[in-house]
Structure 1
Amino acid sequence: MLLLLAAAGAAGCGGRATTHHKPGTTHQQASGSVGTLLDARDEAGHRLRQVPAKGAPEVKLALRPDSEDGWNLQLEVGNFRFTPDSVGGAALAGGGHAHLLLDGRKVARLYGPWFHLSATQVPQGAHTLTARLYADDHTAWAVDGKPVEAAVPLTAPAPGAAGHDHATPGAPSTSPPSAQAPSPDPAATADRTVTLTVHDGKVTPAPGRTELKRGERVALRVTSDRADTLHVHGYDKELTLPAGQEATLVLTVDRPGLFEVETHESDLVLTQLLVR
């Protein structure tokens, strides 16, 4: 199987006002004790946090097609550790998370070395996929004025080129059309339901932690005033959020840990799932 590997580029981390923080805490101003904050910012407005090249965070990105859908990604990092429990806090040397960017547009935040990229997230054609390292305060780690990142080329085939539709083209339907029954409430089978609203860039109720027992089913019921995509980190589950319409994602939490739920376009943390 083809494996593409990109060496890390020297770069740094910068910050901006954000709702990404631990529930119950306020966003902390980046401290000058770790590197130097530059005026330069990345595409999303995060300031760069420059550190010396020696001992700076490093990243490599490996990409291979998944046999069922999309691609499997692996981040190989050096002088760096993923710190999901302290996101939103002050920048700590060699700690933080990564952003995954497709042609410069953020598609996911990563709190670990592995990620599955669905084919639905990548339009047909040739693209560049980039993994960039960030500190806990959302500044971008940088060396010599450039973000610490790695990039690989990615080409997405035409939709349906490798699909699983086994129907014969042009074959008539074997079932007559019938009246469609009302769709059942997807949250009906859930043990817990979390209802959230996004309006004017604010989350209601304020982001907090939802404590769950391993094996429970949780329903995330979200209404956003703008079209967006919800993403559950660690489970790689996504949900399209139509503007002004309620959407529900039901998830079985089958492994312990702290998993962040965020939106892609508005870059907001909605809640954190704490599974014990």
Structure 2
Amino acid sequence: MERALPILEIEGTDFLVDVKKLEFKEKENPKNSISLFDMRDLGKGRGYVLEYSPQEKNIPSLFSSTMTVSVTIPEMVALDPEGMSEKYGVPLEMFATKNDFDLMVDQTALKERFSGLLPIVDIAGHPFYVDLRMDMLRPKDDFLSNGIVFSKIEDYYVDEKELYSIPYNPKSHEFQEIDFSSITEIPQDIIVVSFPHETILDPVGYNRKHGLDELANLKQTNLKSHFKAGQVSWKDTGIVEAIRENKANSLKSETPKSVDQVKRRGPKL
């Protein structure tokens, strides 16, 4: 039997506290929900501030002129300690000294990052440092490689999957551009790999690079010391269709012209 979720009343409306999704769902209308990350984080265990519309029972919609009320929401460890203990594997008896940040952010990985260690991405068996100061994934122990420069792979970011999917040369440890307009066969020495955005790979480095607070958004993204890139099948890249179309166009250009076509296109006398 599922555990009954705690209830938080916001301006006369009951909301269920859902720590699994880190959101608040209206009890009488579960489709109406408010994400924890749509609130302003006060930090240091002080909770969150929500600009709430009693009329819409949510954050006011875009261009709405409805009246809003600033509501302070306690931390999740206070609203549902049992749920947070279960989700993050921290005993309840330790909660006296823990806040949301302590539980939601990997403190070991954070300590390592602050000590100067860069996150690592394993790509096809080779480790790459996430080096945002150099704007790249830098291959370990390969100083001849150009690596994978983020500014050169912007067009390979897939929004709906929240991943980069890039052609990669395992021998040179580099991103390798492919001309889809002329390719006629699948490259033998190239594979397609996928990995997350810089905000996931190194949120601390990303914050520093863009002048944000080092700890900004860490509750939402968390942070990890190690990642493993996925491998994408060529058939999922659109290359098969490109090859078919390029071959068809090549055949058209090679088709011998009829006598009539030659006469029509010949020089005028």
> Which structure: greater helix fraction?
2
> Which structure: greater strand fraction?
1
Give the alignment's TM-score, normalised by structure 1.
0.28
Highest CA radius of gyration, 1 or 2?
A: 2
